[in-house]
Chains A and B, each alone.
Chain A
Amino acid sequence: MKTRVKHRIVIIVALILSILYFSNDFSLIDIEKTAIIVAMGIDKADEGVEITTQIGIPQATDQALDNQDTLISAKGKTVMDAMEILSKRSGWIPKLSFCNVIIFGKELASDDISVIVDHLLASEHFQNSALLAVCDGKARDFLSTPTPLDAISSFAIQKVILENGATSSSVLDTNIKNFCQKNYGRDKCGYMPYIRIISGDAKGQDSSSSATTDYEIEGDNRPIDGLIDVLPLAEGSSDGGGGGGGGETPTAIFDASKTAVFKGGKICDILTEKETIAFNLLSLPADRVIITVQADGKNSALEIINSRHKVWLDYGVKPTLNMKLILTVRIADGSDENGEGNSLGRRATVDKKFLKSLEKDLSDTLEGLAKRQLESETDLFGIRNLTYKFNNAKYEDYKKIPLSNYQVKTHIHVSSRDKTDENT
């Protein structure tokens, strides 16, 4: 009898639990009303900020890749205020979990982005792994620019920024976490890729190395005035991997080989392509980074296949910032301007003159970069942090030394990949 009562109680409890479980919607929001935001641009507005969100709309697999993505923008006093206005006016619930790129307009970044980045870090809505970048102009214009690289321009930007997240590359990428870690750390300094638009032809023959800061936005996608503007991109389709679309072929290609340096939340310097690569080599292990060097009037593209790096401080007679790079390279392309290539190609050992040239090039670049940063009291190389970690006992004394008083020393050694390696 007792057992039967027990069983009945268990069944009733199980039923109650099932009702609780299956009647719950897990607070999922209506997918019809959900805007999956894949990128966001933040610009300075007259009062507060203007956000431009790029929404990814799922497409049927049996249709050609149409440019159905839509940009929605709104102005508000803060990012979340603008987001709320956007939500109210559009009736869409913004889902920011998939927002993988956040682009700041140059005007805003020159002002101060600390508060906004702080919000991005603290907000539960954003993924802290979202990439950050600053653009040469208005973020809104960048997101509305069609590109042949992808149907959704932010995806193309994302590809450009995230060349290879784990190793050195020509782009110094960062995300919310990494930027904040440096900005709120002892360095009080950070960096972001500096995106530019290059006007090339439809085949994308223009190369980033010849990029200039001048850019041209194709088409007229500029929004009408108002609190909230819906900016459908030009209709049309493209075949294959092409995107963008519109009556004319999109020509804009993004470049992120320069880097914006931030101090106290404001842009204080822009690193050149060379400086970006050199600084990246000091931060991450290199893998397949290609640098073209010149010696005796000949060019050689060298591929860095292995690297070791170290940055340390020496508080001897004069405080010194030491930077060490040990690189192993091989020939990526030995052709000269006349098209006369090295017949051995990648198997050949690199001529010493090219190695020396690369050493000098990197040394000069890093030294110039470091001196420029130190003179402006920008702790890009993390001197305060290094002092705290490795000279902690005297940190309080050493942190009073102005950065401009530091000497810079570089120790660069470049060697060719050994011939015997080729057999392995």
Chain B
Amino acid sequence: MMSPNEQNKLKLRQICFIFLAFMPVTKISLLPSVLSGFCEERLWVAALLGFLLDIGVLFIALHLYKKHDNCTLFYLLENKFSKGAAKAVYFGYGVYFILKAIVPILEQQDYVHNTLYEISPSAAVFVPLFIVSFYQSLKGLKILGRCADACIWLTGLGLFLVFFLAFNIVDFTNIFPIVQKPTYKPVNALFRSIIWFSDSVYFLLFLGHFEGEKKQTLKVVGSYGLASFIVIFFMVVFYSAFGSIAKTRFFATTELTIYSLAIANSARFDYIAIILLMFSQVFAIILPVYLATKCFERAFGLKKALIPAIIINLLLAVFTVVFTEKLFTVLSFMSNYLSYVFIFFGYVIPFALLFIPKEKKLENTSKA
């Protein structure tokens, strides 16, 4: 019997690590200031609502796993509806993942330019990211697991350092009052920032690509819950530190650490944390690009991911060069016009999948 590694499958531990290593790092840069711009001290409420929805999707996916014997989403759709329908859904998800990757990529680019460079560098400096992304897109799923295995430590250490250095400037009363009315502000904030959420939809694509384990619901939901808690705690720390000016502090991790007395008295060793988190962010922003490639590979019935990988990475590279320093224009466009698209693919389709009846006999498959 082949091991999950030989079958190019993920281990459940690796899925948990994907959530823990990659989910927080994409949400601690720009998202805190965007949320505080919409709902001030209740930014954590907006994030909590988003993560509750995400965990709901995760429960749906785990339910599908049990109900349909760990078959892939494509196989399920193909069997229940038709191959065309399955391809259409995968095509939709391919587009969705590309859209989902755009803001984090531009965010990362802006962050790198602002943090590591004294004066704005050429846009081409960021292009090598897409060479890494292209290489990763050609590989099987286990590359994600291995990246997560490595990055979990970097993310953990980076976040620990950030929290440690930020500790002396936080005033937790800044997030008071905890309970207040009206509630539409956090809901609106979530709607406008929905592009950062719904990471749990990745798990739908992992169905059929991992071996089940005992207490897997607890492990998967627990890891996503822990990652969500870290992000919410980060937001609380962020707002506690900046209060009324939080909405103007765009790169939260760098902003939080510079006020430490340890930094003032020695040197900018907070860059260790920044670099560690940036390294994890590279793989975190590649994740949706990778999944988009796999979706298009299935949607067009291709044997290899080479062509979609070239096209997607080339498109994104060109887009990134063209829209360098235009992060907020893109963000504004997406939150104004594309929020419904994100809700549809992130929450509506997973919810609709609940209503697919159980097949009497469904062949298990693990083919990507």
Where the two chains meet, the residues of A that have a C-beta atom closer than 8 Å to any C-beta of B are 13, 16-17, 20-21, 24, 26-29, 95, 97, 121-122, 124, 127-129, 162, 165-166, 175, 177, 180-181, 184-186, 388-390, 392-393
Contacts and interface: CB of A to CB of B under 8 A. Distances in A.
A20 B244 contact: no
B118 A27 contact: yes
A399 B263 CA distance: 39
A128 B168 contact: no
B121 interface: yes
Contact of A166 (B120, B125, B128, B168): B168
Given A20-B128, A185-B243, A165 B119 contact: no
18 contacts: A13-B131, A16-B131, A20-B128, A21-B128, A24-B125, A27-B120, A27-B121, A97-B118, A128-B255, A175-B259, A180-B244, A181-B242, A181-B243, A186-B244, A388-B177, A389-B176, A390-B177, A392-B177
Interface in B263-284: 263-264
B117 interface: yes
Interface residues of B, number: 30
B180 interface: yes
Contacts of B118: 27-29, 95, 97
B117 A177 contact: no
Contacts of A28: 118
A183 B279 CA distance: 37
Contact of B244 (A26, A27, A97, A181): A181
B274 to A, nearest CB: 14
B354 interface: no
B261 A166 contact: yes
A185 B248 CA distance: 13
Contacts of B127: 20
Nearest to A16: B131
Contact of A129 (B173, B174, B259): B259
B131 A17 contact: yes
Contact of B119 (A17, A27, A129, A388): A27
Given A28-B118, A129-B259, A185-B243, 11 more contacts: A13-B135, A26-B117, A27-B117, A27-B119, A27-B120, A128-B258, A129-B258, A180-B245, A181-B243, A186-B244, A390-B177
Contact of B116 (A26, A128, A162, A389): A26
Which 6 A-B residue pairs are closest in the complex by CB-CB distance? A185-B244, A389-B176, A392-B177, A27-B121, A27-B117, A27-B119
Contact of A389 (B119, B169, B173): B173
B165 to A, nearest CB: 12
Contact of A165 (B180, B243, B248, B264): B264
Most buried by A among B169, B173, B177, B263: B177
B332 interface: no
Given A27-B120, A166-B261, A390 B176 contact: yes
Contacts of A175: 259
A20 B169 CA distance: 40
Interface string B71-110: 0000000000000000000000000000000000000000
Interface of B: 114, 116-121, 125, 127-128, 131, 135, 168-169, 173-174, 176-177, 180, 242-245, 248, 255, 258-259, 261, 263-264
Most buried by A among B180, B244, B259: B244
B125 A184 contact: no
Contacts of A390: 176-177
B245 A181 contact: yes
B176 A184 contact: no
Contacts of A16: 131
A389 B177 CA distance: 5
A95 B117 CA distance: 12
Contacts of B248: 121-122
A385 to B, nearest CB: 9
Contact of B114 (A124, A127, A128, A186): A124
A121 B117 CA distance: 19
A97 B173 CA distance: 30
A45 to B, nearest CB: 27
Nearest to A164: B261
Nearest to A186: B244
Nearest to B113: A27
Contacts of A95: 118
B176 A177 contact: no
A197 to B, nearest CB: 25
Contacts of B117: 26-27
B176 to A, nearest CB: 4
Given A17-B128, A26-B116, A127-B258, A392 B180 contact: yes
Nearest to B263: A129
A184 B244 contact: yes
B72 to A, nearest CB: 28
A159 to B, nearest CB: 12
Nearest to B125: A24
A186 B248 CA distance: 16
Contacts of A26: 116-117, 121
B259 A177 contact: yes
B117 to A, nearest CB: 5
A110 B245 CA distance: 24
B98 to A, nearest CB: 23
A6 B215 CA distance: 42
A184 B249 CA distance: 14
A345 to B, nearest CB: 31
A26 B135 CA distance: 24
Given A166-B168, A175-B259, A184 B245 contact: yes
B124 to A, nearest CB: 8
B360 to A, nearest CB: 44
Contacts of A124: 114
Most buried by B among A13, A27, A186: A27
Which of A21, A124, A175: most chain B CB closer than 10 A?
A124
Nearest to B119: A27
A155 to B, nearest CB: 13
B49 to A, nearest CB: 20
Nearest to B243: A181
A166 B169 CA distance: 9
Nearest to A386: B173
Contacts of A122: 248
A129 B117 CA distance: 19
Nearest to B268: A97
Contacts of B263: 129
B305 to A, nearest CB: 16
